[in-house]
Amino acid sequence: MSENTLPDFGSQTAEIALLIQSGEIEQAVRISGELLAACDNELRCLHNERKVINEAAQRFIEAAVLHVHALRLAGASSDAFSCAVGALLTVEVYNAASFVNSSRKLRLYSFAISSVIDCFDRMGDSSDSTDENHRGYILSYLASLLYHYYQETVKENPEDPSLSESYNFLKAIENSGAIQSPKIKLGEKDVDPASPGPLLIDIMGRAAALGIYA
């Protein structure tokens, strides 16, 4: 396999962006999903063949951002949440996180937290203490990771357009106690948010228990 198996990646992302701008959301979801699957396959194959994966990782995350964005516009909150968290874990599993700009991770965490809040709102209040516990941990972990990548994005590019939405959310919850920094407590362990794999797996498990991880 060559290290650039998607030579038309730029034209495909441009097409998806145009579909989103034109309001053709269903088609944008379909095409972005196909592109994400192709990028996932490319990344997996290069990783398994022990080849350079930096550009493939960047394409994968860019495709994930587009697909999650399209899913959110389609009102598919649980799918958007699942895709965002799954994509973030994928780059961790393939040791590709260092090749992905913090701003793209920030965008996916922003999508993940807004999507899961949509899911919780649709579910309504729960009288089950276990469910409420799961919700609290999911929100705390995602907010803490969002805060970490917000800081990293500011360091990389303080003018990045991804910052404003995240700032507004973080500002709104800064006194809630949900944000853990610089380490994030997972059970009895402190997790470095720069290596969030264990947290993402825990989020997936809690979301599955709530019936919102697709």
pLDDT at 2: 41
pLDDT at 136: 96
pLDDT at 172: 94
Whether 159 and 56 share a structural domain: no
Which of these three, 74, 91, 123, is where a domain ends? 74
Looking at the domain assignment, is residue 96 inside a domain? no
Mark 18-35 as b/e (b = at least 16 C-beta within 10 Å): ebbeeeebeebbebbbeb
How does pLDDT run across 83-112, given as a tens digit for each residue?
Answer: 999 999 999 999 999 999 999 999 999 999
Whether 191 and 111 share a structural domain: yes
Looking at the domain assignment, is residue 181 inside a domain? yes
Looking at the domain assignment, is residue 149 inside a domain? yes
pLDDT at 71: 98
| Conformation bin of residue 95: beta by default, left when phi > 0, alpha when psi is -120 to 50 | left
* Spatial separation of the C-alpha atoms in residues 172 and 14, rounded to whole Å: 34
Residues of the chain predicted below pLDDT 50:
1-4
pLDDT at 7: 67
Looking at the domain assignment, is residue 166 inside a domain? yes
Whether 126 and 59 share a structural domain: no
Whether 56 and 106 share a structural domain: no
Looking at the domain assignment, is residue 199 inside a domain? yes
pLDDT at 5: 58
Which of these three, 74, 90, 114, is where a domain ends? 74
Domain count, the chain: 2
Whether 123 and 51 share a structural domain: no
Whether 111 and 158 share a structural domain: yes
Whether the CB-CB separation of 135 and 120 falls below 8 Å is answered with yes
Whether 128 and 193 share a structural domain: yes
Whether 119 and 211 share a structural domain: yes
* Spatial separation of the C-alpha atoms in residues 124 and 116, rounded to whole Å: 12
Find the helix or strand (DSSP H, E) in which 189 lies.
strand 189-191
Whether 60 and 150 share a structural domain: no
Whether 107 and 144 share a structural domain: yes
Looking at the domain assignment, is residue 129 inside a domain? yes
Whether 199 and 152 share a structural domain: yes
Looking at the domain assignment, is residue 179 inside a domain? yes
Range of the domain at 177: 101-214
Whether 5 and 63 share a structural domain: yes
Looking at the domain assignment, is residue 126 inside a domain? yes
